[in-house]
Amino acid sequence: MQDPIYILGIESSCDDTSAAVSCNQTILSNVVANQDIHKQYGGIVPELASRDHQKNIVPVINEALAKASIDLTQINAIAFTRGPGLMGSLLVGTSFAKSLALALNIPLIEVNHMQAHILAHFCLPGAVPSFPFLCLTVSGGHTQIVKVTDYLSFELLGQTQDDAIGEAFDKAAKILGLPYPGGPLIDKYAKQGNAKKYKFPISNMPGFDYSFSGIKTSFLYFIQEQTKQNKNFIQENLADICASYQACLADSLFKKLLAAAEQQQIKTIAIAGGVSANSLLRQRLLDLQEENNYTVFIPPFEYCTDNAAMIALTGYFKSLKKEFCDLKVTPSAGYAL
């Protein structure tokens, strides 16, 4: 029987401060502190995010250890998010992880945030994706199609060349006058709307790459034109607007995803990242499984958004291969997959 390997995971890439403890592949605790201050600004303010991370990181780690019934002296290694993300936020997590690893004299493990999102599928007991599989990673900063052939083997097949899909959701919500974060609200209103009421263009990018800047601009011009004719257009048609826009974004995603699956001859598809909480994307995947004989994996909501459980688990897989880093490591805001 394998000896227990306890990993403390630390996540601070954006505006959520999180800590988790894992024992081998079992997650013992996963604590997340959200930041509400950004709502009043309509988006994340990096400096304020950094300050809140500094306030939250010690209490969050203490709570994670307590919930796991683990003492710091039992931790075998510390895994932390090196990037991608906001530089100030990453600095807080990286600095704390380095200091704690030095104080405890235990190994340090750097983790790529997007790789961790993919490996979140292995945080739970039960059915997990079999290799190889494709993962659609969708968040506020990323939109990628990734081929996964092992726990630590990733091939980027396509990605957005400008804005991420999460940005496309939040920008449209802002145009509609919805509070931040607007993506979940578009999803909410879309459930009561007619997705075929309005049409928006889908960018034609080469290969499996995406572009969402064009649809954002088209949406802005559409709303401006309609509100000139009817100042109450948004209020009177909000559900239909949201449903139509969301359907267009989903169409764009799945057009490339299915093309990649056909080219790679892979029938197992997963989704990861904050936008994987979107109800339409989840339903589209379930439809693929029902109608097209795909095997799909959809993470529970707690593992869609930023969390340290996925960081700890990635750290565990890296620890098995002795992929440790030294104390000279620095954050990387644009850490490539």
The chain-wide mean pLDDT, for the chain, equals 94
Instruction: Please answer whether residues 204 and 151 qualify as being in contact, where contact means their C-beta atoms are separated by less than 8 angstroms.
Output: no
Residue 38 has pLDDT above 70, yes or no: no
Bridge partner residues of 9 (DSSP): 20, 79
Higher confidence at residue 290 or residue 190? 190
CA proximity to 156, closest of 109, 90, 112, 216: 112
Task: Measure the CA–CA gap between 19 and 307, rounded to whole angstroms.
Answer: 7
Q: Inform me whether the pLDDT recorded for 41 exceeds 80.
A: no
Q: How confident is the model at residue 48 (pLDDT cuts 50, 70, 90)?
A: confident
More confident residue, 165 or 39: 165
Calpha distance 111→317 (Å, rounded) = 11
**Token duo for residue 103:** 């104080």
**Order of strands, sheet of 143-150, starting from the edge strand that comes earlier in the sequence:** 153-159, 143-150, 133-138, 268-272, 295-297
Check pLDDT > 80 for residue 42.
no
| pLDDT at residue 4 in the model | 95
pLDDT in tens, 178-237: 998 889 999 999 999 999 999 999 888 999 999 999 999 999 999 999 999 999 999 999
Residue-wise pLDDT for 120-161, tens only, equals 999 987 789 999 999 999 998 899 999 999 999 999 999 999
SS3 203: coil
Residues 64-80 have a mean pLDDT of: 97
The reported pLDDT for the residue numbered 1 is 66
Q: Can you read off the two tokens belonging to residue 271? A: 């989704």
How far apart are alpha carbons 166 and 189 in whole angstroms? 17
User: Which domains are seen in the chain, by residue range?
Assistant: 6-120+304-320 (3.30.420.40), 128-299 (3.30.420.40)
What's the distance, Cα to Cα, between the start and end of the chain in Å?
33
Average pLDDT over residues 11-34: 95
Residue 297 in contact with residue 178, Cβ under 8 Å? no
List CB contacts of 42: < 8 A, sequence separation 6 or more: 174, 179, 180
| Three-state secondary structure call for residue 104 | helix
Distance CA 274, CA 18 (A): 15
For residue 125, the model assigns a pLDDT of 79
Query: For the whole model, what pTM was predicted?
Result: 0.95
Look at residue 34 in the predicted model and tell me its pLDDT.
Answer: 77
267-270-276 Cα angle (round to 5): 145
Phi-psi region of 302 (alpha: psi -120 to 50; beta: other; left: phi over 0): alpha
Q: Where is pLDDT greater, at 3 or 318?
A: 318
pLDDT in tens, 24-35: 999 999 999 977
pLDDT value of residue 30: 97
The DSSP element (H or E) to which 26 belongs, if any, is: strand 26-33
Residues 287, 264: Cα–Cα separation, whole Å = 20
